[in-house]
Amino acid sequence: MFITTVNPRFGDVDGLGHINNTVLAIWFELARNPLFRIFNPTLDISFERWPLIMAHTEYDFVGELFLPYEVEIRTFISHIGTKSFTIYHEAWQQGRLCVIGKAIVVHYDFTKRQSTPLPADKKLLLTEHLLKPAKG
Amino acid sequence: MFITTVNPRFGDVDGLGHINNTVLAIWFELARNPLFRIFNPTLDISFERWPLIMAHTEYDFVGELFLPYEVEIRTFISHIGTKSFTIYHEAWQQGRLCVIGKAIVVHYDFTKRQSTPLPADKKLLLTEHLLKPAKG
Amino acid sequence: MFITTVNPRFGDVDGLGHINNTVLAIWFELARNPLFRIFNPTLDISFERWPLIMAHTEYDFVGELFLPYEVEIRTFISHIGTKSFTIYHEAWQQGRLCVIGKAIVVHYDFTKRQSTPLPADKKLLLTEHLLKPAKG
Amino acid sequence: MFITTVNPRFGDVDGLGHINNTVLAIWFELARNPLFRIFNPTLDISFERWPLIMAHTEYDFVGELFLPYEVEIRTFISHIGTKSFTIYHEAWQQGRLCVIGKAIVVHYDFTKRQSTPLPADKKLLLTEHLLKPAKG
């Protein structure tokens, strides 16, 4: 699990007095930095060196988030496939689970414009962050 | 169906040279304005007058979007429930379908903090925008 | 003058019921697309082909902007220097001038990491969009 | 001085490989939270309780910001007027000053839609964060 702490800002609050739903796309992307580092330690973005492309994101808004309380984002891996993996996020505020997110990321070669198998060593590193580790 | 046209801006393009995934959350929210008007014609945001809360959003990135081409967002209703309805979005660029989105919106009373049934007249108006399934 | 029309979205409205100040950075950047095209007609972003870097932006909030009214952004050139030029923006809503903006853009060689003189042909094209001072 | 630390996210990087200029509007707004707390300790946004409106912002981009290095935002007060005050921000990355910002905020009564004098006690609290304190 990776933990990322974010602080809401004034403009994250919409006209209904809570954090706007689109803000979670931003926060969860930020929370993916440690996972991105598994594939590119210096987060050096280039066609030659960045091997991931986003295929799917989703967000379940199970509770409202408010200014000014800190938000803790907990990030896990929920599935590891042949050419893709699924990231699972939770956003917690004051002990309440408020948003659950998922992102399916494909291992991708931008120079050839095609998906490629996840390398075994990366799969192993992802395994360390599995939401429910396989039992022994 | 509602059509909303957006133009990508310089900063919507990320380090991989395509529109960043989080931008779609923004564009699809903009594309919901005409649906919001069914419930609140002047888009007057207040606890007393705004009767909708976001429960779920999702995004399938089936093709990349690029600067500088115009993006056409087509918005439909895909499901009408008792207390909620589902919005279906497509983002098209140069004749290619690039992103498919869904948003589940709950009819909600912000003064009582509880969901409430969709009024029959609103359901009827939503019905006019139902996504038509392909016929057999 | 270039005119760019934008429609506010739900989440552009902050807790005070008006368009948040940070949204103008987004809208004015969008309104610079036609000026960027003078230097790069296809808006093809690369170190070799993109010759502009942002040096300064500013925003004067002289009136509040609200949902749901369309906003017209009027964009001019207010100064042409040797290696830079100044863009002047106005955001109008329902006949009211609400925000005035400026952006100073430097002609820049990203491969050499240094500013370079504005080419004479580009200066001429910029001149066509000069803000005309009121005559005495 | 207030210090706010932010971490750039993947999508903050634009097509030129550096942090897009519009991101600074977001980061500096976040960095104003401790100043907003002087006027509204719980950051409770309502017309009755929020006494500030933004009049002006500006940004000087003196160096480029990059992923993945942490950014430190240093926030001071640079001027205290009768009905307004000026906030001064600096964004530092790896020991380099990259962006300088200013924001002029007006003390404002949203219920009466008019500016109002800064209370003496608030002025005193702002004074503690002056960029260059007056010498004795």
Contacts of D55 in chain C (CB under 8 A): 60-61
CB atoms within 10 A of CB A131: 15
The model's pTM is 0.96
The whole-angstrom separation of Cα C129 and Cα C87 is 10
pLDDT tier at C135 (50, 70, 90 boundaries)?
low
Give tens-digit pLDDT for A4-63: 999 999 999 999 999 999 999 999 999 999 999 999 999 999 999 999 999 999 999 999
The answer to whether C78 and C131 have CB atoms below 8 angstroms apart is: yes
Q: What is the pLDDT of residue A47?
A: 95
Can you give the residue ranges of every domain in chain D? 2-127
The alpha-carbon gap from B73 to the nearest alpha carbon of chain C, in Å, equals 14
pLDDT tier at A135 (50, 70, 90 boundaries)?
low
Two tokens, residue B70: 């115009």
Q: Which CATH architecture has domain C2-127?
A: Roll (3.10)
Which amino acid is located at D134 in the chain?
A
Chain C CB within 8 Å of residue A13 CB: yes
- C13, C21, C22: residue with CB nearest A15: C13
Contacts of C41 in chain B (CB under 8 A): none
CB atoms within 10 A of CB C132: 7
The secondary element (H helix, E strand) that includes residue A3 is: strand A2-6
Interchain contact, C60 vs D56, CB within 8 Å: yes
Chain B CB within 8 Å of residue C131 CB: no
CB-based contacts of C71, cutoff 8 Å, min separation 6: C5, C6, C7, C8, C27, C65, C91, C92, C93, C98
3-state secondary structure chain B: CEEEEECCCHHHECCCCCECCCHHHHHHHHHCHHHHHHHCCCCCCCCCCCCEEEEEEEEEECCCCCCCCCEEEEEEEEEECCCEEEEEEEEEECCEEEEEEEEEEEEEECCCCEECCCCHHHHHHHHCCECCCCCC
CB atoms within 10 A of CB A30: 19
Nearest to residue C59, comparing CAs of C36, C81, C28?
A: C28
Chain B CB within 8 Å of residue A59 CB: yes
Q: What is the pLDDT of residue A134?
A: 52
Average pLDDT over residues C66-74: 97
Interchain contact, C45 vs B17, CB within 8 Å: yes
Cis ω before A51 (30° cut-off from 0) = no
Write out the DSSP string of A82-121. SSEEEEEEEEEETTEEEEEEEEEEEEEETTTTEE-PPPHH
Residue with more model confidence, B135 or D97: D97
Chain A CB within 8 Å of residue C55 CB: no
Nearest residue in B to A55, CA atom: B61
Q: How far is residue D81 CA from its own chain's centroid?
A: 16
Average pLDDT over residues B48-76: 98
Q: Hey, what's the torsion of the CAs at A85, A86, A88, A89, to 10 degrees?
A: 80
The answer to whether D86 and D28 have CB atoms below 8 angstroms apart is: no
Per DSSP, the three-state class of D81 is coil
The alpha-carbon gap from D136 to the nearest alpha carbon of chain B, in Å, equals 47
The answer to whether B109 and B116 have CB atoms below 8 angstroms apart is: yes
Burial A96-120 (b: 16+ CB within 10 A, else e): eebbbbbbbbbbbebeeeebeebee
The whole-angstrom separation of Cα C101 and Cα C71 is 14
- C7, C17, C43: residue with CB nearest B33: C7
Contacts of B98 in chain A (CB under 8 A): none
The DSSP secondary-structure symbol of D133 reads P
The pLDDT of residue D133 is above 90: no
Average pLDDT over residues B57-65: 98
The DSSP secondary-structure symbol of A12 reads G
CB-based contacts of B55, cutoff 8 Å, min separation 6: A60, A61, B84, B104, B105, B106
Interchain contact, B54 vs A21, CB within 8 Å: yes
pLDDT tier at A132 (50, 70, 90 boundaries)?
confident
The whole-angstrom separation of Cα D106 and Cα D111 is 15
Give tens-digit pLDDT for A78-125: 999 999 999 999 999 999 999 999 999 999 999 999 999 999 999 999
Nearest residue in D to A13, CA atom: D45
Nearest to residue A54, comparing CAs of B63, D6, C25?
A: B63
- D10, D17, D29: residue with CB nearest A29: D10
Q: What is the pLDDT of residue B132?
A: 80
Contacts of C11 in chain A (CB under 8 A): 14, 20-23
The whole-angstrom separation of Cα B60 and Cα A115 is 16
The pLDDT of residue A133 is above 60: no
Two tokens, residue B50: 């705004």
Contacts of A66 in chain C (CB under 8 A): none
- D45, D50, D57: residue with CB nearest C59: D57
- C11, C13, C15: residue with CB nearest A22: C11
Give tens-digit pLDDT for B71-83: 999 999 999 999 9
DSSP β-bridge partners for residue C57: C103, D59
Contacts of B9 in chain C (CB under 8 A): 26, 29-30, 33
pLDDT tier at C134 (50, 70, 90 boundaries)?
low
Average pLDDT over residues C5-18: 98
Which of C2, C5, C9, C75 should be substituted to probe chain B, the one whose Cβ sees the most B Cβ atoms within 10 Å? C9
Chain D CB within 8 Å of residue B68 CB: no
Interchain contact, C21 vs A11, CB within 8 Å: yes
Which of A9, A12, A14, A110 should be substituted to probe chain C, the one whose Cβ sees the most C Cβ atoms within 10 Å? A14
Give tens-digit pLDDT for B19-33: 999 999 999 999 999
- A22, A57, A60: residue with CB nearest B29: A22
The answer to whether D64 and D18 have CB atoms below 8 angstroms apart is: yes
The pLDDT of residue B134 is above 70: no
CB atoms within 10 A of CB A6: 20
Nearest to residue D19, comparing CAs of D102, D104, D103, D96?
A: D96
- D13, D33, D37: residue with CB nearest A9: D33
The pLDDT of residue B135 is above 80: no
Contacts of C34-38 with CB under 8 Å at 24 or more apart are C34/C2, C34/C4, C34/C75, C35/C2, C35/C75, C35/C77, C35/C87, C35/C105, C35/C126, C35/C129, C36/B10, C37/B68, C38/C122, C38/C125, C38/C126
Q: Hey, what's the torsion of the CAs at D116, D119, D124, D128, to 10 degrees?
A: -40
Q: Residue written as tokens 């950075």?
A: C25
3-state secondary structure A46-91: CCCCCCEEEEEEEEEECCCCCCCCCEEEEEEEEEECCCEEEEEEEE
Interchain contact, B30 vs C7, CB within 8 Å: yes
Give tens-digit pLDDT for D56-110: 999 999 999 999 999 999 999 999 999 999 999 999 999 999 999 999 999 999 9
